[in-house]
């Protein structure tokens, strides 16, 4: 058993180590308490299931307390109630996860977190939310009302919670944090603006089924998706992908039977999408113009290929090993193009904020931690929800960087003007011809806010 456990973590945690994860620290128990108030709301269940999802991808020992409430949120795996869903999700992601009985752990042996307001007062952290705003509180809330609804806020809170636990087991400082992915703001004064689904942006082609796509699909399934989606990726799931891909289980990566599934095939059923097991440049659907292309891959020149399509609006999200999750917009003539902003041949940067770079792992520019991918997917989901009202297309900035800094999560804004000499984008006349030949849903939307 121990040999197999060691073999699992040696392979599964390659990218986690690259981002500063230390094996001995990840063995420290993490205690998660789902409050009775949170357990009965859909938002509370979303927070609980997402938090355990992220925790099981990096941590190795947990104590779980959750009421056996009827399941109202979507579970990654089949389950009878919330308690069962939390446990089954954790074990599907990490079959070697040691789940301890809550009472067996001395309180000071673990880093602890509560979800909702009805949780013990001796916890290290508490998650709360309102509308689209999620919050990480140090300690507990005092005699508060039951936590309410707010699906995106609950999702944001779970991301903040997962990053706090990862920092805390590594003895790093954790500060109170707030995030609203819809308002694209962080900090104390973040407003609680929320938005319910479903997500309806027409025919979508998702290019790339890696960690950000995996998170987007995970969150999108919860808000509901209308319209036809294609998911295009020729890559197979590997065990070291499961450290950060919210929709993947160990079995998807062939543990233990060696039968791996292709990433597109894993993600597509989550939202009723059509999987395409192909690389974008070889895909036979490349000539079909959808309403929206989500550029969530980076290899094989895909950024310049997609920049060259003449689309009026591109949105996508990325993570970096510097503990950031980033949302990008590209509107021709107003913004730079995706290939100029993120050149394919850029050397991977491994100045992880928590540990030294690991020289023998320099081959993986996609290294990330689960909460980084989850945050990138959540920022992207929020942006997509707003597209029908102009939203991201009408903003004056075009790049949002969520930095999981020790001082507290911070969202920064950048504006990248069109790059002089860009050879990736079509000029205005050609773009209009392309768009008129096959008009699509959002062809006019960037102009609305220009
Ligand atoms: Zn360019």
- 90-104, 223-237, 257-271: range with lowest mean pLDDT: 90-104
CA of residue 308 to ligand 1 center, whole Å: 9
Q: Burial, 428: exposed, middle or buried (Cβ in 10 Å; 0-12, 13-18, 19+)?
A: exposed
User: How many whole angstroms from 40 Cα to the centroid of ligand 1?
Assistant: 49
How remote is the CA of residue 339 from the centroid of ligand 1, in Å? 5
DSSP output for 136-199 = EEES--SSPPPP---HHHHHHHHHHHHHHHHHHHTT-----EEEETTTTEESTT---------E
| Domain edges within the chain | 18-186, 199-440
Residue 448: its pLDDT value, please?
Answer: 53
Q: Is the pLDDT of residue 69 over 80?
A: yes
Q: How far is the CA of 425 from the centre of ligand 1 (A)?
A: 6
User: Would you state the pLDDT for residue 446?
Assistant: 61
Q: Indicate whether 346 pLDDT > 60.
A: no
What is the whole-number distance in angstroms between the Cα of residue 16 and the centre of ligand 1?
32
pTM attached to this predicted model: 0.95
Q: Does domain 199-440 have CATH number 3.10.450.50?
A: no
pLDDT band at 35 (very low <50, low <70, confident <90, very high): very high
Going from the Cα of 418 to the center of ligand 1, the distance in angstroms, rounded, reads: 8
Q: 244 C-alpha vs ligand 1 centroid, how far in Å?
A: 29
Helices (H) and strands (E) in the chain — how many of each? 14, 18
Q: Coil, helix or strand for 417?
A: coil
Model confidence at 406, in pLDDT bands (50, 70, 90)? confident
Beta bridge pairs of residue 33: 65, 114
Same topology for domains 18-186 and 199-440, yes or no?
A: yes
Residue 196, pLDDT score:
82
pLDDT at residue 109 greater than cutoff 90: no
Ligand 1 centre to CA of 332 (Å) is: 10
CA of 443 to the centre of ligand 1 (A): 20
* CA 297 to ligand 1 centroid distance, Å: 16
Whole-number Å distance, alpha carbon 335 to ligand 1 midpoint, is: 10
What does the pLDDT average to over 176-199?
Answer: 89
Dump pLDDT digits (tens) for 324-343: 999 999 999 999 999 999 98
- Ligand 1 centroid, distance to 337 Cα (angstroms): 4
For 18-186, which CATH superfamily applies? Answer: NAD(P)-binding Rossmann-like Domain (3.40.50.720)
Please tell me the predicted confidence (pLDDT) of residue 366. 81
How many Å lie between the centroid of ligand 1 and the Cα of residue 336? 6
Over range 182-210, report the average pLDDT. 91
Closest CA to 251 of 235, 243, 239: 239
Looking at residue 354, what is its pLDDT? 39
> Can you tell me the distance from the alpha carbon of 204 to that of 274, in angstroms, rounded to the nearest whole number?
10
Ligand 1 center to 252 CA (angstroms): 36
pLDDT at residue number 411: 96
Measured between alpha carbons, how far is 159 from 155 in angstroms, rounded to an integer? 7
* Residue 356 scores a pLDDT above 70: no
Alpha carbon of 401 to ligand 1 centroid (Å): 20
Check pLDDT > 80 for residue 447: no
**Mean pLDDT value across residues 190-207:** 91
- Looking at residue 103, its pLDDT comes to 63
- Ligand 1 geometric centre to CA of 44 (Å): 42
Supply the pLDDT for residue 146.
Answer: 92
CA distances from 414 to 15, 147, 156, 297, 399 (A): 28, 34, 21, 22, 5
pLDDT tens across 268-325, in order? 999 999 999 999 999 999 999 999 999 999 999 999 999 999 999 999 999 998 899 9
Interior CA angle at 234 toward 229 and 239, to 5°? 105
Residue 358 has pLDDT above 70, yes or no: no
Ligand 1 centre to CA of 342 (Å) is 9
> What's the 423 CA to ligand 1 centre distance in angstroms?
6
CA distance 318 to 210: 10
pLDDT at 357 exceeding the cut of 50: no
């Amino acid at each position: 058993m121990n040999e197999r456990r060691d073999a699992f973590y040696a392979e599964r945690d390659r990218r986690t180590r690259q981002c500063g994860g230390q094996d001995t620290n990840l063995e420290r128990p993490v205690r998660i308490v789902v409050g009775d108030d949170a357990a009965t709301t859909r938002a509370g269940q979303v927070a609980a299931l997402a938090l355990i999802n992220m925790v099981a991808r990096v941590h190795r020992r947990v104590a779980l307390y959750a009421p056996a409430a009827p399941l109202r949120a979507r579970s990654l795996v089949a389950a009878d109630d919330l308690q069962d869903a939390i446990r089954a999700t954790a074990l599907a992601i990490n079959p070697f996860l040691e789940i301890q009985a809550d009472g067996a752990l001395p309180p000071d042996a673990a880093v602890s977190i509560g979800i909702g307001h009805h949780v013990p007062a001796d916890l290290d952290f508490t998650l709360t939310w309102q509308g689209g705003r999620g919050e990480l509180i140090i300690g507990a809330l005092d005699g508060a009302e039951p936590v309410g609804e707010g699906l995106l806020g609950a999702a944001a809170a779970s991301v903040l919670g997962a990053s706090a636990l990862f920092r805390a087991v590594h003895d790093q400082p954790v500060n109170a944090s707030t995030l609203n992915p819809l308002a694209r703001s962080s900090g104390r004064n973040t407003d609680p603006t929320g938005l319910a689904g479903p997500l309806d942006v027409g025919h979508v082609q998702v290019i790339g089924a890696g960690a950000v796509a995996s998170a987007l699909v995970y969150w999108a399934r919860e808000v509901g998706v209308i319209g036809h989606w294609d998911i295009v990726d020729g890559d197979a799931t590997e065990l070291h992908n499961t450290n950060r891909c919210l929709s993947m289980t160990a079995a998807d990566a062939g543990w233990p039977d060696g039968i791996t599934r292709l990433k597109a095939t894993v993600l597509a059923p989550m939202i009723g999408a059509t999987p395409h097991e192909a690389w974008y440049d070889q895909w036979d659907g490349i000539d079909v113009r959808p309403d929206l292309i989500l550029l969530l891959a980076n290899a094989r020149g895909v950024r310049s290929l997609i920049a060259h399509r003449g689309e009026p609006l591109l949105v996508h999200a990325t993570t970096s090993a510097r503990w950031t999750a980033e949302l990008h917009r590209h509107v021709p003539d107003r913004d730079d193009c995706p290939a100029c902003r993120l050149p394919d041949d850029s050397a991977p940067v491994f100045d992880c904020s928590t540990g030294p770079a690991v020289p023998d792992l320099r081959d993986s520019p996609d290294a990330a931690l689960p909460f980084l991918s989850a945050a990138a997917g959540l920022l992207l989901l929020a942006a997509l929800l707003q597209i029908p009202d102009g939203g991201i297309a009408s903003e004056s900035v075009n790049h949002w960087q969520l930095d999981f800094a020790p001082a507290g999560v911070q969202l920064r804004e950048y504006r990248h003007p069109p790059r002089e000499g860009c050879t990736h984008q079509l000029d205005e006349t050609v773009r209009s011809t392309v768009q008129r030949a096959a008009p699509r849903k959002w062809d006019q939307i960037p102009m609305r806010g220009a």
